[in-house]
């Protein structure tokens, strides 16, 4: 703090406006113009081009995603239609097969019923024939039984 009185005694430097100041300003302006032309403007153009490419790529990506979503929706709709068509065809085939199976079963059932009736009538005929042949023997046996019981 001892140097403060000395600083107060010093006079501020005088500003000289001479040719060196003008040369420095002109050199600064020349360097500024050169940097602007050869560095700043190409840099800004390159940055704008890069941004345009990035934005363009993003827009293209968004458009492609939209197209993909639309294609997926169309695919799902076509798939559902195909499944519905296949299911209706399957149902028709199953119904036809069931009808054919029912007709076959009914035909076989009728045939079996006829066979049963034929065999039943043959059995009834055989039974009647056997009874007719056994009737004289039955009469003889019943007469013997009656005699033995009455005696």
Helix, strand, or coil (residue 151): coil
What whole-number distance in Å separates Cα of residue 113 and Cα of residue 138?
Answer: 35
Distance, in Å, from the CA atom of 66 to the CA atom of 58, rounded to the nearest integer, reads: 12
For range 103-125, the mean pLDDT = 93
First and final C-alpha spacing in the chain = 175
Q: Is the pLDDT of residue 114 over 90?
A: yes
pLDDT tens string 1-48: 566 666 666 666 666 677 888 899 999 999 999 999 999 999 999 999
Q: Give pLDDT tens digits for 59-113.
A: 888 999 999 999 999 999 999 999 999 999 999 999 999 999 999 999 999 999 9
C-alpha 64, offset from chain centre: 20
CA 116 to chain centre: 57
Alpha-carbon gap, residue 140 to 70, rounded angstroms: 102
The answer to whether the pTM exceeds 0.85 is no
């Amino acid at each position: 703090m001892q140097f403060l009185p000395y600083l107060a005694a010093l006079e501020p430097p005088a500003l000289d406006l001479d040719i060196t100041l003008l040369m420095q300003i002109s050199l600064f302006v020349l360097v500024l113009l050169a940097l602007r032309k050869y560095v700043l403007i190409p840099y800004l153009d390159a940055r704008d081009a890069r941004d345009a490419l990035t934005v363009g790529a993003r827009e293209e990506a968004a458009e492609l995603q939209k197209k993909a979503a639309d294609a997926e929706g169309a695919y799902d709709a076509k798939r559902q239609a195909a499944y519905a068509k296949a299911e209706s065809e399957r149902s028709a085939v199953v119904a036809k097969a069931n009808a054919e199976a029912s007709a076959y079963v009914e035909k076989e059932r009728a045939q079996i019923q006829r066979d049963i009736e034929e065999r039943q009538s043959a059995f009834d005929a055989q039974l009647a024939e056997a009874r007719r042949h056994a009737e004289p023997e039955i009469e003889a046996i019943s007469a013997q039984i009656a005699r033995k019981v009455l005696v």
